[in-house]
Amino acid sequence: MKTKDDAWALVCRHVQEPGLRRHMLAVSAAMGAYAHRLDQDVVYWETVGLLHDFDWEIHPTLDEHPGKGAGMLRAEGWDEETIRVILSHYTEGTGVERHKPIDFALMACDEITGLIIATTLVKPSRNIAEVTASTLRKKWKDRRFAAGVDRVDVMAATADFSRECFAGELELWAHIDNVLQAMQDAAAALELDGRLAA
């Protein structure tokens, strides 16, 4: 059975760009926090979060990612359920529908981490402890900031996650705050604890 350590070793072999590693660590932290809330397997959800974009440097287009990455995971001995979850985070390209809580969580946690990381990195301190919900709201409204974060996609993914796992009661900004808190708890691993300050 593959482990979270195996996932990180795979990431380190295939991902050299620090920002992409940070993204996967952030999604892993958010996934773990939600697994805890939903009484799911925390380490497994964290592992999926770590793995989900491992092939992006090799397959940097949606024509190839994550579909071709699935073959690499099989060759590495990863189980089909883990591969299925990863394929579900791009249903449009893979045809794999989301239907389990972990699928909806991955989709909801993925893009929003980008806004939180970008907001942290424009602070002189580079310290995520100083990022607040109100700061994120301002950055959210500025569509030019972290323009790669599709606000419409984030809202749709959050709504789906809310409906499937929280009886429709998880509001967008509650979700964003949950992800922020999870990332703040993982600040050292994300290197967003001030060490990157000039």
Question: How confident is residue 66, by pLDDT bands cut at 50, 70 and 90?
Answer: confident
Question: What domains can be seen in the chain, in order of their start residue?
Answer: 4-190 (1.10.3210)
Q: Which amino acid is at 177?
A: D
pLDDT over 80 (residue 1): yes
Q: Which amino acid is at 190?
A: L
Question: How confident is residue 67, by pLDDT bands cut at 50, 70 and 90?
Answer: confident
Residue 38 phi, psi dihedral angles, 5° rounding: -95, 10
Q: What does the pLDDT look like over 85-129, one tens digit per residue?
A: 999 998 888 899 999 999 999 999 999 999 999 999 999 999 999
Structure tokens that stand for 65 in this block: 């990612």
Q: List the beta bridge partners of residue 193.
A: 127
Please compute the mean of the pLDDT values over residues 17-22 and round it to a whole number: 96
Instruction: Write down the pLDDT at residue 93.
Output: 83
Q: What does the pLDDT look like over 145-196, one tens digit per residue?
A: 999 999 999 999 999 999 999 999 999 999 999 999 999 999 999 999 999 9
Average pLDDT, the chain: 95
Question: How far, in Å, CA of 72 to CA of 7, rounded?
Answer: 13
